[in-house]
Amino acid sequence: MMVSNTLNNIRNKEEMPLQLLKWVLSRNDISSLDCYSQEQIKEIQWEDTFCFYREHTIVAVTADLSRFIPKEYEVLKSQWKESVYSNVYLYSCIEQKQQKLLESFHSNGIPVAVVKGTSVAQYYPKPQLRTMGDIDLLVRPEDYDRAVDCLTKNGCKEYSSQSEIVTGRHRSFHYDGISIELHHYFSKKVDEKKARALDNLLFNAISLKSTVLPDEENGLVLLSHIRQHLEEGIGLRQIIDWFMFVRTCLDDEVWYSSFQEKARITGLESLAISSTRMCQKYLGLTTNNITWCKDASKRTCDELMQYVINCGNFGRSRGMLQSSAVQKLPKLSQPIRMLKHLQEHGERNWKALYKHPWLKPLAWTYQLCRYMNLVMQRKIGIDGIKRIYDEGQKRNEMFAALGLK
C-alpha cells in the first residue's frame, strides 16, 4: 500500500523522490520497498529520482534504494553506487585528517570543537553516509591566533581573502585536498544580542575534554546553519541533518526542560518548531515523544518544504539558478537593510579597496553596479525581475513566520 500522500503542495516530479526518501529515513534497515507494488516500482522515474537526490547532495543517504533499481537501469545503478562509495571514502579521509589536527590542537592546549561534519554524522544510523564537505573547527576568540599557527605548522595552506582575515568569522585553509574553515565565532551578526547568546553557549561548551560539542549545542549549530543559508538557498541535506538530530536527541523532555529556552534566547525557537513539524509531515520523523512542534503553522511548514525543494543544496537546484543579484531584490523594500547588504558585500568583493582604502564608503555603489551588470547579463527582463521580486516578498513573509526577520 502506498505511503499516505501528504505532498499535495509538491510538484508531481518531486513527489516520488520525496516518498522514497521518507521511506528510507523512517527505517534503519530497508529490506524491501513493501510500500509499493512491483508495478509501481517499475514506474518509478529512477533517473529523475537520482538527479533530485544529487541536486540536494543526498545520494549516499539513499544508498539502500539502489538495490531496487530495475535491470534496465544498470548504468544508473553503477552511478548511484559510485556516488555512495565516493562519499564513504571522503568520510574516511576527512575523519583521519581531522583527527590528526585535533590531536595537535589538544597537545598545544587549544580547546577546539568540530561543528557540523562528523559531529552531525554521529546521529545518522550509518555515519559514513552523511554527505561531507569541509572541516569546520570552532575555537574561542582568545585562542584564534594560536589555532591559526597550529594549522599552519601542520601543513595547512591558507587561502583566506584579506577581508576574511581582517573582519571574517572564519579563515580558510587547504589540507591534503580537504578544505578547512577555522571559526572564532559561529553566528552571523544579524541580531547582536541573539548572536552573542549563541556564541557564548558554544564557547562555554568547548573544552579540552572533548572535540565535539554537547548534543544541545550541536542542535543550535544546525539550526543556526539553516538560518545562515536560508536566503541563498538551503537543501534537503541540511534538513536531514536536523531530522537525525531531533530523532536522536530532542524529545519532549529535552525540549521543555532545556532546549526550548536555548532556542528562544538565540532566536531559533520558531525555526526549530516549523522545521521539525515539516520533517514529521514530509520526511517521516516520528511523532512519538516529539509533540512539542504540534502547533506549528501548516502553511509555514508547507511553504518551507516547497522552498527547500526548489533550492536544492545551497540554492544549486535548477529552479534556483537565478542571479544572486536578483534574489536580493526583495530587500529593496527595506532600504536600510539593503544598503547594509550592499556595503558589506562591496567591501568583500571590491579588490581596489586593498590599495585604496579611502574608497570604502563607496563600496555599496560598486556592489550595486555589480548586481545590475549581472541582471543585464542574464537578460532577465522587467517581467522576470517583477516575478522574482514578488516571490521574494512571499519568501520574506515565510522568513518572518520562522522568526528570522
pLDDT tens for the chain, 405 residues: list them: 334 444 444 555 688 899 899 989 987 555 566 666 677 777 788 999 999 999 999 999 999 888 888 888 899 999 999 999 999 999 999 999 999 999 999 999 999 999 999 999 999 999 999 999 899 999 999 999 999 999 999 999 998 777 666 667 789 999 999 999 999 988 876 678 999 999 999 999 999 999 999 999 999 999 999 998 887 778 999 999 999 999 999 999 999 999 999 999 999 999 999 999 999 999 999 999 999 999 999 999 999 999 899 887 544 444 444 444 445 555 555 667 678 778 877 887 788 877 788 888 888 898 888 877 766 666 566 566 566 666 666 777 778 788 876
204, burial (CB in 10 Å: exposed 0-12, middle 13-18, buried 19+): exposed
As a whole-number percent, the residues of the chain with pLDDT over 70 amount to 81
Which residues share a beta bridge with 74?
A: none
HSE on the CB side for 277, CA within 13 Å?
A: 20
Q: Rg for the chain (alpha carbons), in Å?
A: 22
CA–centroid distance for 128 within its chain: 18
Residue ranges per structural domain of the chain: 12-83, 322-401
Angle, CA of 134, 140 and 146, to the nearest 5°: 80
Place of cell 585528517: 97
Amino acid at the residue 60? A
Report residue 280 as a C-alpha cell.
514529521
SS3 breakdown of the chain: % helix, strand, coil, rounded to 5? 65, 5, 30
CA–centroid distance for 205 within its chain: 22
Which residues share a beta bridge with 172?
A: 181
Is residue 110 helix, strand or coil?
coil
Is residue 157 helix, strand or coil?
strand
Of 142, 365, 346, 119, whose CA–CA distance to 248 is shortest? 119
Greatest C-alpha distance within the chain: 69
Q: What pLDDT digit, counting tens, does each position of 323-372 carry? A: 444 455 555 556 676 787 788 778 877 888 777 888 888 888 988 888 77
C-alpha–C-alpha distance, residues 226 and 56, integer Å: 14
HSE on the CB side for 40, CA within 13 Å?
A: 11
Per the CB < 8 A criterion, the answer to whether 132 and 90 are in contact is yes
C-alpha–C-alpha distance, residues 48 and 339, integer Å: 41
C-alpha–C-alpha distance, residues 105 and 139, integer Å: 10
DSSP conformational letter for 284? -
Amino acid at the residue 391? E
Which residues share a beta bridge with 180?
A: 135, 173
Residue 175 φ/ψ, nearest 5 degrees = -140, 100
